[in-house]
Structure 1
Amino acid sequence: MAAKDELGRFGEEVACQHLAAGGAVILDRNWRCRDGELDVVVRDGGTLVFCEVKTRSGVRYGSGAEAVVGRKAARIRRLAARWLAEHPHEPSPVRFDVVLVSRQRTGPVGVEHLRGAF
């Protein structure tokens, strides 16, 4: 497995643990269709949340939050609409979050949860 993929899987696991510890119920992970992938889908109280997870081991490529703008955010919205079409639920509000995971060589793993990020 490539180091990038391993880092991404690590970050998604940390993000799911963080979300579950906050009371969210994980509905789906790594949901794929021909147009792309949703990292994590959760129910947070009465809200359906589509979470994009960005994991970084440094600042070489900028912050994870900088990577979820414009076309990337629009793509996640389109994927969410497809997920909703395939998974009928009671009508509920939808939110788009970003979970930033920072894995440094030393020290604890950092997690920042940006609710309603886009």
Structure 2
Amino acid sequence: MAAKDDFGRAGESRAVAYLIERGYEILDRNWRCPQGEIDIVATVGAHLAVVEVKTRRSSAFGHPFEAVDPRKRRRLWQLAFAWVAAHREALSGREIRVEAIAITGPDPAVGVLEHLEDLA
């Protein structure tokens, strides 16, 4: 289990570096509440982004984005609203959007990274 957790953490760290390179300001990582956990909360321009990170060694069992199905998207929106309720000052006129980052490859540091900016 620890190796899987380390693999996922490495993917999240790569995702954070990627987002920072693109002008995102990271506000929170691995924020937890009774409803679940948000991998990354960040701001970019006029948006508050709630980012789900999926890291896979391969796409043998489907593309990582397939794991962000309609049920998961609804849950991410619920978590986004819970985060905003706890950090209302961070919203300050920004629009909320849910994003996803997929990293595929045996090493998250160099795997293929894909970014969906608006899952809606």
**TM-score, L = length of structure 2:** 0.90
* Deviation (angstroms), 1:34: 1.3
Aligned partner of 1:117 in structure 2 is 119
Distance, in Å, in 1 between the alignment partners of 2:104 and 2:23 is 22
Structure 1 stretches of 4+ with a deviation exceeding 2 A read none
Aligned partner of 1:25 in structure 2 is 25
* Deviation (angstroms), 1:102: 1.6
Superposed CA deviations along residues 66-96 of structure 1, whole A, max 9, x for unmatched, are: 0001211111111111000000131211111
CA RMSD of aligned residues (A): 1.5
Aligned pair count reads 117
* Deviation (angstroms), 1:112: 0.8
**TM-score, L = length of structure 1:** 0.92
Aligned partner of 2:54 in structure 1 is 54
Distance, in Å, in 1 between the alignment partners of 2:96 and 2:81 is 10
Structure 2: give runs of 5+ residues left out of the alignment.
Answer: none
Give the letter aligned to residue 54 of structure 1: K
Aligned partner of 2:85 in structure 1 is 85
Distance, in Å, in 1 between the alignment partners of 2:45 and 2:55 is 25
* Deviation (angstroms), 1:97: 0.6
Aligned partner of 1:2 in structure 2 is 2
